[in-house]
Structure 1
Amino acid sequence: MTGQAQWLRTLEQHRHRQAQEREAVGADWKASGYVFTRPDGSPIEAATLTRHFNALLHRAALRRIRFHDLRHSAATLLLEQGVELVVIKELLGHAHIGVTATVYAHVRLHLQRDAIDLLGNALRNPTQPTARSDDGDEPPVCAASVR
């Protein structure tokens, strides 16, 4: 089973458990609109979430991080995978792209350095194929050395 299929199955199981909780609580169910709630449908308290998250980190022998750091890590990974900044801005709910650009400037600088390194390698070794496939839209790489 692929990772995506596993996550989908896990979320479907969660939805089923939550439907059972909703049925058990009946009229006292608090429709918060959240995916992850307390058994009565009300939002999970921040302190409770932090406590459970820290327990999971401890059990997995991982260093302590803030729960919010997961959001930052996800955005960083998306940016490193080439997802456009505007898409990440929308996922994070930032009102302005400038906020996203400022927060993730260090990642963009790293990606720019990688791009320059890739260009340098292509110029030093013009006969070596680059990571990108030739789709016919780009002119051929010149084999003359640049000085």
Structure 2
Amino acid sequence: MGTLIESAVYLAAHYGLRRSEVLGLKWDCINFKEKTISIREVRVKYGKEVVIKKPKSESSQRILPLMDDIADYLLHLKTQQKKNKLLFGKEYVDCGLVCCLPDGNPIKTEYLNHKFKDILAKNELPHIRFHDLRHSTASYLIKNGVSLKEIQVWLGHSTISITANTYTHIDMETKKDTAQKINDIFSKKSKGAAQ
């Protein structure tokens, strides 16, 4: 992608992170040795004030495995941020954030939303909200047979009913696909027996 929001989009799409989780992710939450990403803080906006705080529920605070491709990406990103720090010198704002602007400043929520919408339009992609990346991740997991309980834990939902209520329609699509496959199997067997 090569845009200023690339890291936020990349992480949100792979992990189904909330916007506030992506924008609040700090380097000290990435453990390359243990291969984990810890979701411990979120960055949210209340009116004009930006606040870094703990996620809204205990289940939102979670440790996820660091995927190999993501680890490589993050190591490259960290190297780029070190170069930027040298380039900007005293002007560099070292917030310790994974997703930040080249000068180290945090990415603002409005900027992320606007830039994401702009990228979709320029590439003639359907309009979706940034939060829909989270839904896409969950949909992909469901369609690949991951249980609702596993998805609940991965996404950090406080209850399985939130996961079920949000993604039941996708689960029903998966069940319809399964029903069709079963139907096809028996249709082939009954046609074979009739011959």
Within 1, Cα distance between the matches of 2:93 and 2:171? 48
Give the 3-state SS of the residue equivalent to 1:82 in structure 2: coil
| Counterpart selection for 1:111 from 174, 180, 191 | 174
Q: Which amino acid aligns with 2:94?
A: W
The match for 2:139 is: 76
The match for 1:99 is: 162
**In the alignment, is the contact (CA less than 8 A) between 1:30 and 1:40 conserved in 2?**
no
For CA contacts below 8 A with separation 6 or more, give which structure has more relative contact order: 2
Deviations 1:43-64 (A, max 9, x none): 3211010121122112211122
Structure 1 position 30 matched with structure 2 position 107: no
Percent identity over the alignment? 29
Compare 50-59 and 67-76 and name the one that shifted more.
50-59
- More strand, by proportion: 2
Q: Which amino acid aligns with 2:132?
A: D
Q: How many correspondences in the alignment?
A: 126
TM-score by length of 1: 0.69
| Counterpart selection for 2:152 from 89, 111, 122 | 89
TM-score by length of 2: 0.54
Q: Which runs of 5 or more structure 1 residues have no equivalent in the other structure?
A: 129-142
Give the 3-state SS of the residue equivalent to 1:86 in structure 2: helix
Post-superposition offset of 1:6: 6.7
**In the alignment, is the contact (CA less than 8 A) between 1:18 and 1:39 conserved in 2?**
yes
Within 1, Cα distance between the matches of 2:190 and 2:81? 58
Post-superposition offset of 1:73: 0.9
Give the 3-state SS of the residue equivalent to 1:88 in structure 2: helix
Q: Which amino acid aligns with 1:105?
A: T
What are the within-5 Å matches in structure 2 for residues 46-65 of structure 1?
Answer: 46-65=109-128
Post-superposition offset of 1:92: 1.2
Q: Which amino acid aligns with 1:29?
A: D
What are the within-5 Å matches in structure 2 for residues 3-42 of structure 1?
Answer: 9-22=72-85, 24=89, 28-31=93-96, 34-39=97-102, 41-42=104-105
Within 1, Cα distance between the matches of 2:110 and 2:142? 30
Q: CA-atom RMSD, angstroms?
A: 3.1
The match for 1:135 is: none
Q: Which runs of 5 or more structure 2 residues have no equivalent in the other structure?
A: 1-66
Within 1, Cα distance between the matches of 2:154 and 2:105? 24
